[in-house]
């Protein structure tokens, strides 16, 4: 204890530290990082720019990465320098990495058409996999991946940025309580100025704009968000028909793939509209839900506009997501450790097979110029 004179009065202060004159005040130790997952994670590929998220968590001590498989030495060197990664983490082959390091889960940050390669290696070894959206480049690839996941009893999950948006969860929770009444229309906008325009890396852009490696352009890149959200809001119900239009405005910039797509998704009691684009003046990720009795619009990650029963419009900040559902690492650990989780949600294999059916039907609708009945 020490005594401090304040305005002529002595006040006792417990545990006060006395600093001698002229001595610098010792810095306060930073809080220890919160470990999001105790699982041993493996990384397959480094060409997807979303890999920065998990590598940042690793650098900050929030996750455990035991191995990284990437054949491109330049990519290896770039990430080694940027995140101060040891040589011992790196392998030029996925099979070598999983055999040597035995990860609990492998995260795919490689081209969409190569997701199937990750599952071909990991599934027979009983290693679960999470890939970045969408699940696959084609429905045929997705069907093969589903077969392997079911055969070898692994979890096969798909990660979407918007899964971790508090605003979207808030819309879902209100709709699930029937506060909006019967859902009649869902509108989802996802897009930006274009991958080259916003500064995506060359390695990422090279396969993102390749019809074989990505499966399409903006249609696959951004259309998958809307298909996933609609499947979630409609509780896993499959659409009855799909009609789609793709546009090619930037022929010089993106000569091989579409850069704008609109998909109409028909349900027995509702209609969905997916708008995906690499042609917008700024980035947009939002969600609108119209019910018989109300309307909600998730404007962005946090803000939601609501109007129910002709009451005044309100704009609110959505409550934070509850742990462990607030980030992919802790969610992944929960799902892999508990096989009853991750069955019917935005990351689940079941819902993402429906997503792939929607995207496949959209491509066929564009190619054939007609409505596709599922």
Full DSSP string of 21-68: TTPPPPPPPPPPPP-S--SEEEEE-S-STTHHHHHHHHHTTSSEEEEE
> Is 215:263 a contact under the CB 8 Å cutoff?
no
Query: Other C-beta atoms within 10 Å of 271: how many?
Result: 16
Q: Domain for residue 33, yes or no? A: no
Query: What is the CA 114 to chain-centroid distance, rounded?
Result: 17
Q: Domain for residue 27, yes or no? A: no
Shared domain check, 60 and 144: yes
Closest among 195, 35, 47 to 108, alpha carbons compared: 47
Q: Of 95, 125, 160, which residue sits at a domain end? A: 160
Q: Domain for residue 7, yes or no? A: no
Q: How far apart are CA 67 and CA 151, in angstroms?
A: 25
pLDDT computed for residue 339 by the predictor: 73
**Sheet hosting strand 40-44, strand order edge to edge:** 90-91, 64-69, 40-44, 105-108, 128-132, 156-159
Q: Of 110, 142, 160, which residue sits at a domain end? A: 160
Structure-block tokens of residue 318: 């959505």
* DSSP tag of 195: T
Q: Is the peptide bond before 324 cis (omega within 30 degrees of 0)?
A: yes
Shared domain check, 361 and 249: yes
Q: Domain for residue 1, yes or no? A: no
Shared domain check, 269 and 320: yes
Q: Domain for residue 150, yes or no? A: yes
CATH classification at residue 174? 3.30.360.10
Q: Of 160, 179, 202, which residue sits at a domain end? A: 160
Shared domain check, 329 and 240: yes
Strands (E), 257-330: 260-266, 271-277, 284-291, 294-298, 303-308, 314-317
Looking at the DSSP assignment, which residues form a beta bridge with residue 245? 262
- How many alpha carbons fall within 13 Å on the CB side of residue 29? 3
> Is 171:304 a contact under the CB 8 Å cutoff?
yes
Per the structure, the count of domains in the chain is 2
Q: How far apart are CA 132 and CA 299, in angstroms?
A: 23
> Is 105:130 a contact under the CB 8 Å cutoff?
yes
Q: How far apart are CA 142 and CA 157, in angstroms?
A: 12
pLDDT computed for residue 98 by the predictor: 98
Structure-block tokens of residue 71: 């054949």
CA dihedral (309, 311, 316, 321) in degrees, to 10, reads -20
Q: Identify the domain containing residue 45 by its residue range.
A: 40-160
Q: Domain for residue 18, yes or no? A: no
Shared domain check, 237 and 287: yes
Shared domain check, 224 and 131: no
What is the total residue count of the chain? 374
> What contacts 73, CB < 8 A, 6 or more positions away?
92
Shared domain check, 168 and 155: no
Query: Other C-beta atoms within 10 Å of 179: how many?
Result: 15
Shared domain check, 167 and 148: no
Shared domain check, 267 and 140: no
Q: Domain for residue 131, yes or no? A: yes
pLDDT computed for residue 341 by the predictor: 81
> Is 318:304 a contact under the CB 8 Å cutoff?
yes
Shared domain check, 244 and 302: yes
Shared domain check, 285 and 167: yes
Q: How many separate helices (H) and strands (E) can be counted in the chain? A: 10, 17
From first to last of its 374 residues, the chain has per-residue pLDDT tens of 444 433 343 333 333 344 444 555 555 655 667 889 899 999 999 999 999 999 999 999 999 999 999 999 999 999 999 999 999 999 999 999 999 999 999 999 999 999 999 999 999 999 999 999 999 999 999 999 999 999 999 999 999 999 999 999 999 999 999 999 999 999 999 999 999 999 999 999 999 999 999 999 999 999 999 999 999 999 999 999 999 999 999 999 999 999 999 999 999 999 999 999 999 999 999 999 999 999 999 999 999 999 999 899 999 999 999 999 999 999 999 999 987 788 999 999 999 999 999 999 999 999 999 999 99
> What contacts 24, CB < 8 A, 6 or more positions away?
none
> What contacts 141, CB < 8 A, 6 or more positions away?
113, 115, 116
Shared domain check, 236 and 345: yes
**Segment (H or E) for 152:** helix 139-152
CATH classification at residue 99? 3.40.50.720
Identify the three-state secondary structure at position 111: coil
Q: Domain for residue 11, yes or no? A: no
**Segment (H or E) for 158:** strand 156-159
């Amino acid at each position: 204890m020490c005594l401090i004179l304040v305005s002529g009065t002595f006040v006792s202060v417990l545990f006060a530290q006395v600093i001698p004159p002229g001595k610098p005040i010792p810095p306060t130790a930073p809080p220890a990082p919160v470990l999001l997952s105790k699982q041993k994670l493996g990384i397959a590929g480094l060409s997807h720019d979303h890999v920065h998220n998990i590598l940042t968590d690793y650098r900050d001590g929030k996750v455990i990465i035991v191995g990284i498989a990437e054949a491109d030495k330049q990519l290896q060197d770039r990430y080694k320098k940027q995140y101060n990664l040891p040589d011992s983490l790196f392998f030029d082959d996925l099979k070598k990495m999983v055999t040597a390091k035995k990860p609990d889960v492998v995260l795919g940050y490689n081209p969409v058409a190569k997701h199937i390669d990750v599952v071909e290696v990991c599934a027979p070894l009983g290693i679960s996999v999470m890939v970045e959206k969408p699940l696959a480049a084609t429905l045929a690839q997705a069907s093969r991946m589903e077969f392997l996941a079911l055969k070898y009893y692994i979890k096969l999950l798909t990660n979407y940025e918007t899964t971790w948006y508090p605003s979207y969860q808030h819309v879902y929770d209100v709709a699930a309580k029937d506060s909006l009444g019967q859902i009649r229309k869902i509108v989802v906008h996802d897009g930006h100025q274009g991958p080259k325009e916003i500064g995506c890396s060359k390695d990422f852009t090279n396969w993102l704009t390749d019809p074989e490696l990505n499966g399409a352009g903006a249609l696959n890149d951004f259309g998958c968000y809307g298909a996933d959200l609609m499947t979630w809001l409609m509780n896993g119900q499959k659409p009855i028909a799909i009609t789609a239009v793709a546009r090619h405005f930037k022929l010089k910039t993106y000569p091989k793939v579409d850069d704008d797509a609109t998909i109409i998704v028909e349900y027995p009691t509702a209609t969905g509209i997916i708008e995906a684009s690499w042609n917008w003046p700024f980035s947009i990720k939002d969600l609108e839900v119209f019910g018989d009795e109300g309307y909600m619009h998730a404007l962005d990650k946090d803000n939601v506009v609501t109007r129910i029963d002709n009451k005044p419009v309100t704009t609110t900040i959505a409550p934070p997501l509850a742990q462990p559902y607030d980030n992919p690492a802790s969610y992944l650990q929960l799902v892999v450790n508990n096989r009853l989780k991750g069955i019917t949600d935005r990351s689940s294999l079941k819902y993402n097979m429906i997503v792939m059916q929607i995207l496949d039907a959209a491509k066929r609708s564009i190619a054939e110029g007609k409505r596709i009945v599922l």
